[in-house]
Amino acid sequence: MKQLKSDACLPTAFAGLKLRSPLIVASGPASHDAKQIRLAERKGAGAVVLKTVCSEKYDNMRYWPRPRYKLLDWDRQINGRSKQFTLYSYEQGYSGTLQAYWDFVRVCKEKSDIAIIGSAFADATADWVDLATHIEENGADAVELDISSPHRPGSLGFETTFVEAIKSVVNSVKIPVWVKLAPGPDVVNQSVAAEQCGAAAVTLCNRMRGIDVDIENQRPILHGYYAGIGGPWAKYYNFMNVAETARAVKIPISATGGVMNAEDVISYVLLGASTIQILSAIMVNGWDVLMEIHAGIRSYMERKRITSLEEIRGKALKKIVRSDEIVRWSGEPKNGPRNEWD
Partner 1 sequence: MRSCDGVVNLRTGRAMNGTKREYVGLNPMPPDFAAMYPPIAFVVEEYCIGCDRCIPLCFFDALEMIDKPEHKYRRVALVEPKHCTGCGLCFEACPTDAFVWVPDRSDERHASKGEGDLEDTNI
Q: Which is nearer to partner 1, 107 or 156 (CB)?
A: 107
Q: How many H-runs (helices) and E-runs (strands) does the chain carry?
A: 10, 17
Closest listed residue to residue 262, CA positions, set 301, 313, 214, 219: 301
| Interaction of residue 322 with partner 1, rule CB under 8 A | no
Single out the residue of 4, 15, 25, 91 in contact with partner 1 (rule: CB under 8 A). Answer: 91
Contact map string, positions 254 to 283, toward partner 1, x by CB under 8 A: -----------------------------x
Q: What is the CA radius of gyration of the chain?
A: 20
Q: Are 30 and 321 in contact (CB under 8 A)?
A: no
Contact map string, positions 93 to 112, toward partner 1, x by CB under 8 A: --xxx--x------------
| Interaction of residue 296 with partner 1, rule CB under 8 A | no
Single out the residue of 70, 106, 247, 298 in contact with partner 1 (rule: CB under 8 A). Answer: 70
Angle, alpha carbons 145-84-232 (nearest 5°): 25
Q: Which is nearer to partner 1, 8 or 269 (CB)?
A: 8
Closest listed residue to residue 79, CA positions, set 240, 269, 284, 241: 284
| Interaction of residue 295 with partner 1, rule CB under 8 A | no
CA distance 76 to 78: 5
Burial of 224-248, coded b for 16+ CB within 10 Å and e otherwise, reads eebbbbbbbebbebbbebbbbbbee
Q: Are 182 and 189 in contact (CB under 8 A)?
A: no
Residue list 209-238, contact with partner 1 (CB under 8 A): 221-222
Question: Taking the complex as a whole, how short is the minimal distance between the CB of residue 211 and partner 1, in angstroms?
Answer: 15
CA distance 200 to 145: 11
Single out the residue of 6, 67, 160, 319 in contact with partner 1 (rule: CB under 8 A). Answer: 67
Q: Are 90 and 223 in contact (CB under 8 A)?
A: yes
Single out the residue of 7, 9, 11, 69 in contact with partner 1 (rule: CB under 8 A). Answer: 69
| Interaction of residue 328 with partner 1, rule CB under 8 A | no
| Interaction of residue 68 with partner 1, rule CB under 8 A | yes
Number of residues that bind partner 1 (CB under 8 A): 36
Question: Taking the complex as a whole, how short is the minimal distance between the CB of residue 32 and partner 1, in angstroms?
Answer: 6
Return residues touching partner 1 (CB under 8 A).
29-30, 32-33, 35-36, 39, 62-71, 74, 76-77, 79-81, 91, 95-97, 100, 221-222, 283-288
